[in-house]
Every structure is written in structure tokens, then in C-alpha cells.
Amino acid sequence: MSFVYVLSQENIENPPGNVYVIDTSTHAVISTIRMSEVPNSIAITPNGQFAYVGNTVLMGGIQTISVIDIKSNFVIAVVALDSLPSFIVISPDGQFVYVETNDGITVIDSKKNLVTATITINTGIAVTFAITPNGKFIYFPGFDTVSVIDTKSNHIIATIETAGNTEELAITPNGKFVYVVDEAEQITVIDTKTQSIIATVNIEERIQNIVFTLDSQFAYVSDNDTDTIFVIDVKTHALIARVRGKMGTGNLIITPNGQFVYVVNEFSTAITVVDVKTHAVIATTQVVGNPIDLVITSDSQFVYVVSILNQAGIVSVIEVKTHSIIATVEVGLNPVAIAITP
């Protein structure tokens, strides 16, 4: 059994925000967790026991990380931060929580829920960062660079120059390569063994999001401006296909069984479904409102899409077998993030 967590910032009449918990066996909200500040980011430990929620400041409050016990859906700890959190990554073994802030990365020990280190990175504010599957290195994008951090020492061990400002990156599931999106309309490929650039993939569009198939064979990259999904062969680092999406192609995920890619189209009400074998669109599913993000169950049965319709938060449940909506769930106002337990 899995649970979906949706962060909603609500509105000024109902501050500061809530976390809605959906049971994937019933597609219904089973708990609403009241937050002390406004939630903006979330990550769940690999064992599915805890959710870490980043909170923004409201009415003189402080920046915090709230720790939610998945079993009880209670906040069991609050970790104070020196700077605003924006993105959270948890180590593969679940021992450390890495929080991106305005100052760099704050490291939290998940056993004690205490800050153990602060990694200062003066290279700009990234959209995302990533940790290798073995948990040894963190890659952090910035102004014309990617910083490589040794998680054992929490020190920067390499700074890799790129052709333009970098905002997002992703690591292949086998841990061999880092794909970095930069403003030069290309993808820079970094070898994690040598910490050096081994290839560039020219896209000629300002791309945004990257996901890999679990076998690390293909990368799917979305472009919000041209509504296109680009397919890259990871073995050759070559562009092999272009797939037309809908308006505002954005976040995307691949089903754990490797069969389909589900793509958010932010400026429409559509979810594009791509067949991984053919790299072709096989379905378009209309959801309620403008989709923001999506998650999928580990058994590849259901996709949960969070959308906004006139501020109202709606989660549409898509059955992967039919690519059709089987349920909708209300989740407060102004949702900003969604996550699912393993």
C-alpha cells in the first residue's frame, strides 16, 4: 500500500497550509496535516517511514523542515533552518536529508533530525540537484558550473564548467552519467568516474526536465517553449527522436515497468502518454485544471496528477492500463507539490 502526499498552501483566509494524504487503495484523503508554516517542498525516505516537508516563512515565522511520521501522519519533529528551503533530496540509505537553501545545502541527520553540516555553494540557486545511487556524490547546478560534493566529507571536490547557466540535472539509474541542462540549449554529459564532461547533446531549445528509463537506456527531456519531448540514446548520447506534446510541456515520469512516459502539459488540461518502445504518443488524458506535477505507484498501476482549477487543488487518478481517469480528489487550495511513498 502506498500513500500520496500533496502540499497545499491554501490562502490568506486559511493560513498557512496543509498536507493532504491520499490512500492509493481507495483514492481518498485519509488525513489532513496542518502545518505551522507554508509548505513548499517534500521528499519521502526510501523506506517510506518519514516525509520531510520544507516550509516558507509566514507572519514572522522561521524557515523549517517538518518531519512527518507516515504511520501516524503526525509531525514528530521540526528542524529550524538559517535560510529558505526550496528542494529536498534524501540519501539512498535514508540516513541524511539534503535541503537546498539560499545559502547552499543544509544536511540533516535523519536519526536525530538535527542539522549536522552546511555546504556553502556560491553558484546561484538551482532548481534541482541530485545524489548518485550509491550515495557518494551530490551534483549541484549553478552559474556556468556544476559542483560535485563528496557526501562523506560534505566538501566540494570538483567544479565542472558548462557552456551556460545550469538549472537542472539528473543522474542515470546506473550512476554512470549526469545529464545537465544549461541555457546554451544543450545537455552536458558528465562521467561520474572522472568528474569530467564527455559529451554534449545539442537540442537547440531551452529544455527543462529530464527522466531516464530504469535500464538507463533512454533519456526523455521536455521543452516548455516548443511543447516537445526529446528522446536521447544514453549509450551514444545522441538525440534519436522528437515527440510533440501539448501546451506547456513540463514535468514527466516513467512508469517503473518501463513501458510509458507520462508528461505534464502545464498550459493545458492534458497529460501526454508516450510509448517507450516506439517513442510515440499513444494517448492524451484530460485532467481537471492545469496540471503541475505527477507521481506513480511502484506497481505501475496508477498515476496521480495534481492540478489547479481556479486555485482549487485537484488530484486526478489515472489508471495506467487504460490511460483514463478513474477518480478525482480535492486537496485544498493552491497545491505546489506531490510525493508518493515507495
**Each residue's pLDDT tens digit in the chain (342 positions)?**
899 999 999 875 666 899 999 999 999 999 999 998 899 999 999 999 999 999 987 666 689 999 999 999 999 999 999 888 999 999 999 999 999 998 899 999 999 999 999 999 876 656 789 999 999 999 999 888 999 999 999 999 999 998 878 878 999 999 999 999 887 789 999 999 999 999 999 987 778 899 999 999 999 999 877 788 999 999 999 999 999 877 667 899 999 999 999 999 888 899 999 999 999 999 999 999 999 999 999 999 999 999 999 999 999 999 999 999 999 999 999 999 999 999
133 — alpha (psi -120 to 50), left (phi > 0) or beta?
Answer: alpha
Assign domain 131-202 one CATH number from 2.40.10.480, 2.60.40.420, 3.50.50.60, 2.60.260.20.
2.40.10.480
Rounded Cα distance between 5 and 331, Å, is: 10
Query: Which residues are within 8 A (CB) of 97 and not within 5 positions of it... i.e. 6 or more apart?
Result: 43, 52, 65, 88, 89, 90, 91, 107, 108, 110
Rounded Cα distance between 254 and 164, Å, is: 28
Q: Which residues pair with 32 in a beta bridge?
A: 20
Rounded Cα distance between 244 and 233, Å, is: 18
Q: What is the DSSP string of 243-285?
A: EE--TTEEEEEE-TTSSEEEEEETTSSEEEEEETTTTEEEEEE
**Reported pTM:** 0.95
Query: What's residue 97's pLDDT?
Result: 99
Report CA dihedral (106, 107, 111, 113) to the nearest 10 degrees. -10
